[in-house]
Structure 1
Amino acid sequence: MSAPVLSVRDHARTLAPELTALRRELHAEPELGRHLPLTQQRVLDALAGMPLEITTGSALSSVTAVLRGARPGPTVLLRADMDALPLTEDSGLPYASRVPGVMHACGHDLHTAMLVGAARLLAERRADLAGSVVFMFQPDEEGTDGGGAVPMLAEGLLHASGEKPAAAYALHVASNRLPFGVFASRPGTAAAASDGLTVTVRGKGGHGSAPHKAADPIPALCEMVTALQTFVTRSFDIHDPVVLGVGVIRGGTKRNVIPDHAGFEATVRTYSTAARDRMREGTRRLLTGIAAAHGLTAEVDYQDGYPALVNDPAETALAARTVTDLFGPRRYLDASAPTPGAEDMAFVLDEVPGTYLMLGACPPGGDFATAPYNHSPQAVFDDSVLPDGAALLTELTLRRLALALALAPADGDRTTVG
């Protein structure tokens, strides 16, 4: 076992210069949303010459590449997101964004480079592969245009190799939260569902000096905002938590004018389908009831966003063993709780068992506990994690395919990790 493990790590290290160069090119010219023509072309150029079957998306600038092993077997899917954020970079890096108002502040440029590295490492081991690998280069994880995973699934991602993947894996870097080079994951729910709540309260406008002649939506709106917090703390188990935050309030044009309508927008984070369903129905019942008590009406629009990301326990255990064998036990951490952030890899993991890992990329010597967070204009990610990320994705794929082959019954039926 030790020789191939070392071979993958050593091979990955030789790719460090080209992966770093690719990452910095992507970082300097970031793109937003579903349409990433420069990024897509850089990925295509980086994959050129490999024995891959490559298709590009119609509804978005995705790249799907299939590597077929020399022998038949199951399929493993590896995913990287490619889009940036609408931020003005303030990192001071020599390769900082040259695009005003756009920045790779969440590390997706590293994810893309890592997946290119994994494609190269696996392509050079094609003769030893029993099965196929699908490389998923996804735009719009940040949801600028509504998310990128769903349109990729609609365009046939899960059948790119001819059969549905047996497992799917993704890796995400963190500019803080984790020590440099430490991988973390957990079985079960690993990231929250993220939904939106938009409410419009309608009444009757009037003069501020005569509120009894109007139907003022403002007091009702204020009551709604506080009632929602009480609803969360009094209706949900603390072990299945809900987070609700109102980020936008709109209403009125002048201090002595009672408006005829007012509204607010909130983000809702849940960790289970049951809690999500109760929030969807409960907020509508609560808010329309408050409006009615004030003689008003309320339009309540609950918008489903990304579902909770749920890691398969067996696939997560395989990933943990792989990290430990590759890098040592100090390089893996069992995450104690899910993150309240959301991730549209959840749509893939709803269809395919797999796992999602985090990797600490705060520059060595820095304090990860106080470093700027992902999505900060000052966020900095260290390039030296690139070979390790590529090596892990590669070794995890090799082990998953080998395990499936070892467990396959004589008639060749597929099996799952168990």
Structure 2
Amino acid sequence: MSSQSPTTQATAASSLDDDTRSRGREFLAAAAALSPRLIDLRRRLHAQPEIGLMLPNTQASVLAELDGLDLEVTLGERTTSIVAVLRGAHPGPTVLLRGDMDALPVVEDNDLPYRSTNGAMHACGHDMHAAGLVGAAHLLSGRRRDLHGDVLFMFQPGEEGHGGARVMIEEGALEASGSLPVAAYAVHVGPGVNGRFRTRSGPILGSSSVLSVTLTGSGGHGSRPHQGRDPVPALAETVLALQAMVTRRIDVLDPAVVSVTRVEASDAVNVLPERARLSATVRTFSTETLEVVEAESRRIAAGIAHAHGLDVEVDFERSYPVTVTDPAETQRALATITTMFGHGRVESTMTPRFGSEDFSFVLEQIPGSYILLGASPLHIDPATAAYSHSPDVLFDDALLADQSALLAKLAWDRLHN
């Protein structure tokens, strides 16, 4: 039981709130001064995007911007990752801040002076994430003497389907400071109301898996189907059965999406193929539902194949797990955002989305939060803005100051409270 009187406790809490607000204004002012440099970096990254796990030019650009800061830098071996540790002057735990850096195989369709022309595009805002994390490193490095603990900056390649976070974890990124971080945070920009932050406790993004079914019969002439074992009708039945399975075997309160996105059969119109294949993306919000989807998909494919006298091969690859935010860390993050930017720029009631994110691998091991930042330019209606991964999506890099300041303040608050 506290020995302080209620009045003393209230005064102490008020003093802490004032200090928190003052520190938030300090970070925002410093980030605003840094903004031109961050915008320049972001636009250079945008003009020269790189795909996958190996991003040598991106890595070099980020390292040049970190040069001169008092950081312990480790480079990845299987990927061009960067792990930078800032040691606070005072003892304390470690907090992880993450920014991904890779682009997509999308041909940009925007008329910008810094548009990409190499056939790839930062159509998911990772150029913003990398520049924003550089900004946070500068802001916190300038306050190292007052920092109680360490900050681990995780610059990650290969988020777009390459599992870069998993590779970095396997190479020891989470232990780079010598102790497992007590919290992890990431900010992801996207189309939406300019400057509005959104998050929620619990599942925020879905798992991502790939289902592949190959049916094998015997080929022949298209005019004499009775002489072969045609896998095409069975494949069509499988597509429809998978859709029915989702509506009849999956609880609507713990949903799943199974979208068949690729169907392959004969290359010639008059040939019965020996094999027919389908591929589908599978999204869920829980491991329990994912188990049901996998088991039922295998059962359905085997049953239909058997009925048609076909052989079947089913592959179910689990790519990314559900992205689950920690309730306590998410409440901390919401308090920090509200203190810095006001209630009008915060939304905490968003529904989870079926998009996937490999920050989920980090959040499986470290409690943390994942924050979305609306970044549609002010002249674009967010209701009709092009979505992420589109060739004409646009992001407002004037928000880099807010993004950097928030990341820095999230780490600061977690280490000092």
TM-score w.r.t. the length of structure 2 is 0.94
1:327 aligns with 2:341: yes
d(CA) in 1 for partners of 2:72, 2:310: 59
CA distance in 2, matches of 1:159, 1:93: 40
What SS does the corresponding residue of 2:247 show, helix, strand or coil? helix
Alpha-carbon shift at residue 254 of structure 1 (Å): 2.5
Q: Indicate which of 252, 260, 263 corresponds to 2:266.
A: 252
1:62 aligns with 2:81: yes
Question: Partner residue of 1:151?
Answer: 167
Shift of 1:221: 0.3
1:164 alignment partner AA: L
1:33 aligned partner: 52
Counterparts of 1:161 and 1:186, CA distance in 2 = 28
State the match for 2:318 in structure 1: 304
Q: Are the equivalent residues in 1 in contact too, given 2:108–2:117 (CA < 8 A)?
A: no
One-letter amino acid of the counterpart of residue 227, structure 2? K
Paired position in structure 2 for 1:121? 139
Distance 2:205 2:128 in 1: 20
Select which of 232, 237, 243 maps to 2:251.
237
Q: Please tell me whether residue 278 in structure 1 is matched to residue 292 in structure 2.
A: yes
**Distance in 2 separating the partners of 1:74 and 1:238:** 41
**1: distance between equivalents of 2:223 and 2:155?**
59
- Equivalent runs, 1:8-407 vs 2, <5 Å: 8-99=27-118, 101-143=119-161, 146-174=162-190, 176=191, 178-403=192-417
Counterpart residue number, 2:6:
none
* Distance (whole Å) between structure 1 residues aligned to residue 49 and residue 134 of structure 2: 17
Equivalent AA in structure 1 for residue 402 of structure 2? D
Deviations, residues 239-260 of structure 1 (Å, cap 9, x unaligned) = 1111111111110133332211
CA contact (8 A) 2:84 2:153 kept: yes
What secondary structure does 1:15 align onto? helix
**CA distance, structure 2, for counterparts of residue 310 and residue 187 of structure 1:** 8
Q: Which letter maps to 1:130?
A: H
With 365-374 and 205-214 compared, the bigger mean Cα shift is at 205-214
Q: What amino acid maps onto 2:132 in structure 1?
A: M
Q: Report the count of equivalent residues.
A: 398
Q: What secondary structure does 1:291 align onto?
A: helix
User: Structure 1, residues 76-122: CA drift from partner, whole Å, max 9, x if none?
Assistant: 000000000101111111111132x1111110000001000000000
Is residue 198–residue 350 contact of structure 2 (8 Å, CA) maintained in 1? no
Structure 2 unmatched runs, 5+:
1-18
- Counterpart residue identity of residue 414, structure 2: R
Aligned AA (2:178): G
- 1:410 — aligned with what? none
**Partner SS state of residue 7, structure 1:** helix
Deviation at 1:261, TM superposition (A): 1.0
Post-superposition shift, 1:278?
1.3
* Percent identity (aligned): 51
Instruction: Tell me if structure 1 keeps the 8 A contact 2:136–2:405.
Output: yes
Residue identity in the other structure for 2:174: L
Q: Matches of 1:219 and 1:26 in 2, distance apart?
A: 48
Moved more, 211-220 or 69-78: 211-220
**Larger deviation, residues 248-257 vs 368-377:** 248-257
Kindly state the Cα deviation for residue 210 of structure 1 after the two structures are TM-superposed: 2.5
Paired AA for residue 89 in structure 2: A
The 1-side partners of 2:176 and 2:157 are apart by 17
Equivalent position amino acid for 2:268 in 1:
K
Q: 1:253, 1:91 → 2: CA distance? A: 36
Q: Shift of residue 12 of structure 1?
A: 0.8
Measured after TM superposition, the shift of residue 280 of structure 1 is 1.6
In the alignment, the residues of structure 2 paired with residue 213 and residue 120 of structure 1 have an alpha-carbon distance, to the nearest angstrom, of: 72
Secondary structure of the corresponding residue to residue 84 of structure 2: strand
1:315-361 deviations in Å (ceiling 9; x for gaps): 11111111110011011112431111100000000010000000011
User: Equivalent residue of 2:339, what SS?
Assistant: helix
1:87 & 1:365 partners in 2: Cα distance? 24
- Give the TM-score taking structure 1 as reference length: 0.94
Structure 1 CA distance for aligned equivalents of residues 268 and 142 of structure 2: 68
Q: CA RMSD in A?
A: 0.9
Give SS of 2:214's match.
strand
